[in-house]
Amino acid sequence: MPDQTVSVYDRRRMTSPPRAPRSTYLIFGSPQIGEAEIAEVVDSLRSGWVGTGPKVARFEQMLEDYVGVPHVRALGSCSMALMLALRVLGIGPGDEVIVPAMTFVATVNAVEHTGARAVLVDCEPGTGLLDLDAAGAAITPRTAALVAVHLSGRPIDMDRLNAIRDRHGIAIVEDAAHALGARWRGRPIGGHGNITAFSFYVTKNITTIEGGALATTDAAVAERVERLAMHGLSAGAWERFSDAGHRHYDVVEPGFKCNMTDVQAALGLHQLPMLDAWIDRRAELWQGYDERLADLPLRTPLAPATGTRHARHLYTVELADDAPCSRDELLRALHESRVGAGVHYRGVHLHPYYRDRYGLAPERFPVATSISQRTLSLPLGSQLGDGDLDDVAAALRRALAG
């Protein structure tokens, strides 16, 4: 009789021959694009309208319905959404903006471009989310805003975050690049009363190849974002050149060029309706990783908090203290086994520009520094099969054999 204390997976692993390395490379963050998206792109190309037009407007309406906010503006990237969010909030020289040390540099770059001073704050162990206690302690009379990141698709505690907003009278910008589809207490991320930026980059849960969006409850904010995204013109290309006839425009303030095109939106029109099913599949794959990696010297991600929905964008593991190799050695070994992996992220304070500009030492951010050195993200996408997970687990097992 088999030992009942040994899992089904462990028994299978102990009695199964080792898996050989893959014959094809498992790409990290490979997008899932179907025939419907391809046909919609072709329709855009054939229509003669490939810039910002009716499909962008349709995609914005779909996002408004999905997130539950009255105003969404589709943009060229999440980075531009963050920059425009800070711009419309009036953030500038003399202001301070609190930013998590553990995030992609686009988050803090957006602050830097305003001329404000970025104030980095460490993160929570286990989740990598902004340490809200430390963030509250970092607020000064010069603090104008706080940028909160829903890292890996895990929603930050919105009750505590908005309490900080209300107590101190500062603006909150949510960086939800990873978190379209996430929920806090039943309400979608993006629907909690703050300006929120989303990403549709090629590796995200849904993609328009490049692209992003800004969600807001404020009609005036949405109008100004739309204007700034198209050079500051009072009328966009769709209004100026549609079959309604020519309209003159006025430049009411100097803007940028960061609009989304109909070719990009064509993908989003078919990707967004699939998002919830894809997140459910990602949750199944997440559990599959948990089971396959349970006996390895790795710390797997914490379970989602009660009352939340995790968007499951990244499955990030951390090397345990007794792991026989470094994180970078493990990355190389996975690559040699034809398995792609990522690093999310090296903390902002470790990059030369921010380290030198603000005089940041790694020991000031011990949690973010540890995450930067010890974690990696494994392939996770709704198109993966159980065999792909077996291949990743086998590659990890070979690399961590000691």
* Annotated active-site residue in 204, 227, 292, 312: 204
Category of 393 on φ-ψ map: left (φ > 0), alpha (ψ -120 to 50) or beta: alpha
CB 259 within 8 A of CB 226: no
CB 234 within 8 A of CB 249: yes
228 vs 105: CA distance, rounded Å: 22
> In whole angstroms, how large is the CA radius of gyration of the chain?
22
Tokens of 92: 């500038």
Tokens of 50: 């490939």
Indicate if 204 belongs to the active site. yes
Question: Which residues does residue 147 pair with via DSSP β-bridges, in sequence order?
Answer: 173
CB 140 within 8 A of CB 386: no
205 vs 380: CA distance, rounded Å: 10
Tokens of 33: 């694009």
Among residues 194, 306, 187, 236, which one has the least CA distance to residue 54? 236
Tokens of 378: 């494994």
215 vs 213: CA distance, rounded Å: 7
Which residues have a catalytic role annotated? Answer: 204
